[in-house]
Amino acid sequence: MKELWQSRTSFVLASIGSAIGLGNIWRFPYVCYECGGGAFLIPFLVALLTAGIPLMILEYSLGHKFAGCAPLALGSIKKGFEILGWFALLVGFGIVTYYAVVMGWCFNYLGFSLNLAWGENTQAFFFDQFLKISESPLQIGSVQWLIALGLILTWIAIVASIWRGAKTVGKVVYFTVLIPWVILIVFVIRGVTLPGALEGLRFYLTPDFSALLNYRVWLHAYSQVFFSLTIGFGVQITYASFLPRDSDIVNNAFLVSLADAATAFVGGFAVFATLGYYSFQSGLPVSEVVKSGPQLAFVTYPTIIRLLPFGSVVFGVLFFLMLLTLGIDSAFSLVEAGAASLIEKFKLKRTHVNIGFALIAAGVGFIYTTKSGLYWLDIVDYFMNNFGLLLVGVIMCIAAGWFYNIKSIREYANGKSDFTIGAWWDFCIRILTPVVVGALFITNVIDRIKASYGGYPRIAEFIGGWLVIGIFVVVGLLLFKKKRRT
């Protein structure tokens, strides 16, 4: 028997829970900062409206209409597209391996909050004392045991949360979605009342129209929208397949997408206000006050925590708990989608799949707990999001738009929904998104042929990037070829 959500709220919360995660509080600010702050917001909004929401509607409709997990739902369009479903899940797997490590950092920082161990120079603390970062990705260095411990705790928490599938998920998400918002608001208020905050907010909010001509900003905007909404991973397809037959689609898709974008946008106020404060203190322009990259949130938020007028320890603990609760429902959504797909096709036992998945993903994750971990994390993150994910996005649009009667999907969605979508949606799926994302993809490949990502050694880029993608294609193919058990 297929499991179903117990209520519409459970589904919406689970879907929001999958979308809202570290991507909003951790990835969004640093991608935005690297793209020049205000320069990023317009492309982000355009990508959200023309690709994010339309694809969310598409994923819900596919999952709901074909009542199956990603590989089977996509395979119902045309048999061969089943590979796409597996590949999408594998890209998600690639992400969850490092995502869990970032959650492991959060576990450590939860402990550090107890005595505000990061002190005044949060940047030096993060790199030198915490990560003990090496000189290059090729100088791998030893495993940092505290981070590894955090990683293990994370995986235990993930597996516990999904032990019984949609039933457990439906309850857990009430906590993992609602609490974070309350905490976030406290941080925004403290952030924007710091001296110099306005300068940071100006950097964040002033649009830079010349940056609209820079294709890299667009590339990052699209990949961030896909990452943040968890679309292109097969997760939303799978979650929607658990919906009762008469549930709403369009309204839910808007609700989830807008809630996700709003969370990232609001969180940005806290981060950029803090950057304004650094600029005020150091006299440097906002664009130069910190090294940007995956460490940004771990530099800015600890500063806010230290500067709270009272209750620093309490809020520090709450903040990292919040990141953990935000992250966990994103992480388990992918495990759940992967597990459901394997169970559906191969009739495996849920507990076996969950545990096997956790063991493999945690094992791979150890590489990011070494001294060179941050470099590998950066490389894999870049390749998964800017190659793997975009490829899935384009092919999914082509599959639905050109190999299936897209109008019938729209009519299906409209037939279920409180409000309806028009022909603009067909246009976004059939033409706009494939053309724009496809062009970005190709330009990006050319870029990578010219120079390695982030100036890393070519061999590191090859292993963390192309090789991983190559392996995923092969594994996807094998899963597709393997006979279905009935």
Contacting residues toward ligand TRP, per CB under 6 A: 19, 21-24, 92, 95-96, 99, 227-228, 230, 233, 330-331, 334
Q: How far is the CB of 415 from ligand TRP (least distance, A)?
A: 28
200 or 232: CB nearest ligand TRP: 232
118 or 227: CB nearest ligand TRP: 227
110 or 289: CB nearest ligand TRP: 110
CA–CA separation, 4 vs 10, rounded Å?
A: 10
Q: How far is the CB of 21 from ligand TRP (least distance, A)?
A: 2
- Taken in order 104, 109, 114, 115, the sign of the CA dihedral is positive
> Which DSSP symbol is given to 288?
G
- Cα-flanking dihedrals φ and ψ of residue 410, to 5°? -60, -45
95 or 374: CB nearest ligand TRP: 95
* Secondary-structure breakdown of the chain: helix, strand, coil percentages, each rounded to the nearest 5: 80, 0, 20
CA–CA separation, 114 vs 316, rounded Å?
A: 8
Distances (CA, A) of 408 to 62, 401, 404, 451, 481: 11, 10, 8, 44, 29
Q: How far is the CB of 114 from ligand TRP (least distance, A)?
A: 26
Q: How far is the CB of 22 from ligand TRP (least distance, A)?
A: 5
423, with CB counted inside 10 A (0-12, 13-18, 19+), is: exposed
Q: How far is the CB of 32 from ligand TRP (least distance, A)?
A: 14
133 or 342: CB nearest ligand TRP: 342
Kindly give, in sequence order, each residue whose CB lies less than 8 Å from that of residue 241, ignoring residues fewer than 6 positions away. Answer: 2, 63, 64, 66, 67, 68, 69, 73, 340
Is residue 480 within 8 Å of 71, Cβ to Cβ? yes
CA–CA separation, 423 vs 411, rounded Å?
A: 10
Cβ count within 10 A of residue 65: 18
97 or 113: CB nearest ligand TRP: 97
Q: How far is the CB of 29 from ligand TRP (least distance, A)?
A: 12
Question: Any alpha helices (H) in 166-241, and if so which ranges?
Answer: 166-192, 197-205, 215-229, 235-241
> Which DSSP symbol is given to 483?
P
- Give the amino acid at 29: P
Cβ count within 10 A of residue 116: 14
192 or 335: CB nearest ligand TRP: 335
Q: How far is the CB of 20 from ligand TRP (least distance, A)?
A: 6
11 or 125: CB nearest ligand TRP: 11
- Give the amino acid at 443: T
21 or 85: CB nearest ligand TRP: 21
225 or 299: CB nearest ligand TRP: 225
17 or 68: CB nearest ligand TRP: 17
Q: How far is the CB of 460 from ligand TRP (least distance, A)?
A: 23
Q: How far is the CB of 117 from ligand TRP (least distance, A)?
A: 26
Is residue 325 within 8 Å of 14, Cβ to Cβ? no
99 or 112: CB nearest ligand TRP: 99
The residue with tokens 């053309």 is 435
Name the nearest CA neighbour of 396 among 434, 351, 367. 434
CA–CA separation, 56 vs 236, rounded Å?
A: 7
Is residue 433 within 8 Å of 55, Cβ to Cβ? yes
Q: How far is the CB of 486 from ligand TRP (least distance, A)?
A: 29
Q: How far is the CB of 126 from ligand TRP (least distance, A)?
A: 20
60 or 280: CB nearest ligand TRP: 60
Ramachandran sector of residue 232 (left: φ over 0; alpha: ψ -120 to 50; beta: rest):
left
Q: How far is the CB of 189 from ligand TRP (least distance, A)?
A: 23
Cβ count within 10 A of residue 304: 24
In angstroms, the first-to-last Cα distance of the chain is 14
Q: How far is the CB of 409 from ligand TRP (least distance, A)?
A: 23
CA–CA separation, 109 vs 96, rounded Å?
A: 20
